[in-house]
Structure 1
């Protein structure tokens, strides 16, 4: 049996989807079928959404679940009358905050964007560009500007984590891949990284998981073989221990979780206001 889950918003739907997915992840069953409906900001669009909800109830024969971030009162009322099990994120939190602040909410969609300063916006863009320009050790001469330098074997999650650190926290993150050539001479830290030792942070990963990821990129290659992955991971972990480089295992974490854990472990400060 499955349950149909709708994420409905009069904005992008990102908040409803992220919050809803986090809650649903706590349940191993039933199977969930997800539908995201962004920009439901008119009665006509709400009516179209209601048709989909009605159809899902008829086909699935179970009550749909609806995660909602809708500020338009008319649209919100229509969703509440849909017959779905509604989780209204704004109505869950705005009334309490209204009492705390002693003022009425603006009830305007997209206010998150307007509260961010131009400085924060530009910092995000610059930080993401820094991550792209300093990907895979191609510009070690720029490491003096980095807030952090991620180390790890190929395909251990360095690049997406650097980009996320820039986009979400405004962190200037570079990454340096520890290659087989680096490990041939032992587990010493590459000389180009010595001046930046205080900025280094390591990622590691289970060899089996690494082999699977590499196989998708280069099937049946030596690069993707379990033996090669075991060799690289064992040696890079030895390097971390020997050089006292803090590290985490990225195997069971999403990019968001990896980045957040790095922020906590390194005590880096968010660069956005």
Structure 2
């Protein structure tokens, strides 16, 4: 599927895409966007409508989508609405509706021999209170142990990300905590660490928990320049030196590592979970 061209000009037309949910919309966005990545040549204008909890709200959404459809290309709709009446109302809109819940609910009802509850919000964190609380505790731990701020209870960490500044340690530890309930700390590698023999002292008892991040000198310099333009900290030479030194450190201590330059946080987290054999 290629770009849809505008008959009146050379600019491609963006296909309207709606993510509809009876809760936050995060699941609809995640699953829908994953499917849309398979069509990289297409352009999309995305809109999320969360908390559709009544038939009246659903009808209002249908009216809005139908109005968009009347002006051009029919929208694409990704829905994670659970309630049957609301789901059926949304299905009436003049759009290509991808029901991300309904089809699979029917399959599971057949397999389990029982009807689904039909209650919204069960897929968004609060359905399992124990797991939700575990994630919040992991987030608190990640915040306390961000960038080496605290060494307290470092033995409780399931993984410790180590890397030079601005290689993606903080967003990755937060994602591991929030999405997977992993106790993740992170520790910065500074120039003095590369001049010493071995890992930074606080990390030495926990070398087996360490996972390294690296980047490319060009990408790291670009990110650091946004923070400290014109500084030696952001220079290509300094970035190259720190990254080379970090990789040598990882290799010397058998620390697995990953180049974060062109990898998403989600992909980094998945790789870390796999390589460190972390259960979540």
**CA distance in 1: counterparts of 2:256 and 2:227, whole angstroms:** 28
Mapped contact 1:187–1:238 kept (Cα < 8 A)? no
Mapped contact 1:187–1:235 kept (Cα < 8 A)? no
- Deviation of 1:84 after TM superposition, in Å, equals 0.2
Tell me how many residue pairs correspond in the alignment: 267
**Which SS does the other structure have where 1:46 is aligned?**
helix
**CA distance in 1: counterparts of 2:77 and 2:36, whole angstroms:** 12
Larger CA deviation: 11-20 vs 43-52: 43-52
Of structures 1 and 2, the one with the larger relative CO (CA 8 A, separation 6+) is 1
Q: How far does the alpha carbon of each residue in 1:156-191 deviate from its partner, in whole angstroms, 9 at most, with x for none? A: 1111111222222222111110012222x1673222
**CA distance in 2: counterparts of 1:114 and 1:122, whole angstroms:** 9
Q: Which of 205, 218, 221 in structure 2 is aligned with 1:211?
A: 221
CA RMSD of aligned residues (A): 1.7
> Cα gap change, 1:168/1:138 in structure 2, threshold over 3 Å: closer, same or farther?
same
* TM-score of the aligned structures, taking structure 1 as reference length: 0.91
**Which SS does the other structure have where 2:211 is aligned?**
strand
Mapped contact 2:84–2:118 kept (Cα < 8 A)? no
More helix by share: 1
- Deviation of 1:71 after TM superposition, in Å, equals 2.3
| Structure 1 residues not aligned, in runs of 5+ | none
Q: Which of 237, 247, 255 in structure 1 is aligned with 2:265?
A: 255
> Cα gap change, 1:110/1:218 in structure 2, threshold over 3 Å: closer, same or farther?
same
> Cα gap change, 1:245/1:114 in structure 2, threshold over 3 Å: closer, same or farther?
closer
- Deviation of 1:141 after TM superposition, in Å, equals 4.4
1:105 match: 116
* TM-score of the aligned structures, taking structure 2 as reference length: 0.89
1:31 match: 43
2:185 match: 174
